Amino acid sequence: MIRRHFVQQAAALAALPALSRLGGTSHVGTAQAKPLVVNGARLNGWLTEFDRIGRTAGGINRVAYSEADLAGRAFTRRLFEQSGLTLRLDTAGNMLARVPGSDARLSPILVGSHIDSVTDGGNFDGPVGSFAAIEVARSLAEQKVRLRHPLEVVVWQNEEGGTIGSKIAVGLLTPADLDKVARSGKTVREGIGIVGGDVSRLNEAVRKQGDIAGYIELHIEQGGLLEKASRQIGVVEGIVGLRWFEITITGFSNHAGATPMDQRQDAMLAAAKFTVAVNDAIRSEGGRQVATVGRLNVTPNTTNVIPGQVVLTVDLRDLEQAKIDRFTATFERLGREIGAATNTAFAFSQMVNSTPALSDARIMDVVQGSATALGLSHQRMPSGAGHDAQEVAHIAPMGMIFIPSVGGISHSPKEFSRAADITNGANVLLNAVVAADRALG
């Protein structure tokens, strides 16, 4: 092992706080014999039971504010109660429980995720992190471990519809967001009331800088990097920034048979050239940047008429804001060049623009140190999907733990993570929380 790797591993192991038993209660001390472990069978049993809620022929359908979502929340409420946690709802409808720490001056360490699903989704995206957070709090109590910081468990509402619950919690939800329609057909405004919140008092749910000591979220990877590398744990470096464009390409509709090839203003041809150019540009340099042309609307969309207009979308993502900005300029330049070559006009408009959220170095270290202490293979990696952690990063240090998704599949009925990987992730979360209790001061 080269010296650099040895030093990194030693530092990671040192980040794990020790436990000493005093009067039947465990407190942070100076020497820990071995890492703590959760009850993995209990955690996976909860997930198996939960799989029945919202299960349809097409997959899991617990979309926000639906009857299945409410049933899922009722199930989760029972887990809080069975685990000895006192549940409260904030005015946004987020589910929360707080375990006091030994130092009342300290802000809480927050752990959790969400339980709502996409349409025809799977049972692991969200519930793994939510139920693991409950299991961590229960395991700490059962093993008589008391943290200095309070520990707060959260289940965010409507993550899949735009991280609504966490956006409210950090004060980023706009009045326009309240009128957006969720997959259930309910507006966010209606949905907040349905899940027990109060839209007239949303300001009471807002947290500010300093209110949270740190946030750690366990999640399935939603990709295949860990599986491909045969790694058990992903230490998330950050959540990619996202920029969506809608691009209108205007040409001229004319007869497909009577218009010579050199006299055409074919918007579809321009769209095809642009799609290939976007792909080539993204692949022309090293890195993890991605771009996707995902939707095309063609006018008049008729067999014997040259397309006069195409509206397409581009989804651009990367962990570096500078790279997102640079590729934005590249795509605009390509549009101008292809427009000139095809006698068409390109008009760009931004639909979504979110900045990258970088993980806190201290939390990455305690996650990595916990994985090392547990004997689990790991690697640092970005998250290509959005998460509630991205919102919390606006006001507090955050980090994420990934476990493998079989086949790299998510948002699908075939989404699956193995029980052993779920237990591994929960064990890393448990030990990372204990280590963060020391590292975050």
Domain(s) labelled CATH 3.30.70.360 in the chain stretch across 241-354
Across the range 386-397, mean pLDDT stands at: 96
pLDDT score of 428: 98
Summarize pLDDT for 37-66 with one digit per residue, the tens.
Answer: 999 999 999 999 999 999 999 999 999 999
> DSSP alpha helices (H): ranges in 52-201?
67-82, 127-142, 164-169, 175-178, 188-194
Flag whether pLDDT at 113 surpasses 60. yes
Flag whether pLDDT at 5 surpasses 50. no
pLDDT score of 33: 62
For the structural domain made of 3-240+356-439, what CATH number should be given? 3.40.630.10
Flag whether pLDDT at 397 surpasses 70. yes
Summarize pLDDT for 184-200 with one digit per residue, the tens.
Answer: 999 999 999 999 999 99
With bands split at pLDDT 50, 70 and 90, how would you rate the model's confidence at 352?
A: confident
pLDDT score of 238: 95
Summarize pLDDT for 138-167 with one digit per residue, the tens.
Answer: 999 999 999 999 999 999 999 999 899 999
Distance between CA atoms of residues 40 and 132, nearest Å:
9
Flag whether pLDDT at 1 surpasses 70. no
**Average pLDDT of the chain to the nearest whole number:** 93
pLDDT score of 353: 87
The CATH architecture assigned to 241-354 reads 2-Layer Sandwich (3.30)
Summarize pLDDT for 361-370 with one digit per residue, the tens.
Answer: 999 999 999 9
Domain(s) labelled CATH 3.40.630.10 in the chain stretch across 3-240+356-439
pTM, to two decimals: 0.85
Percent of the chain with pLDDT over 90: 90
pLDDT score of 14: 47
Flag whether pLDDT at 341 surpasses 70. yes
pLDDT score of 16: 53
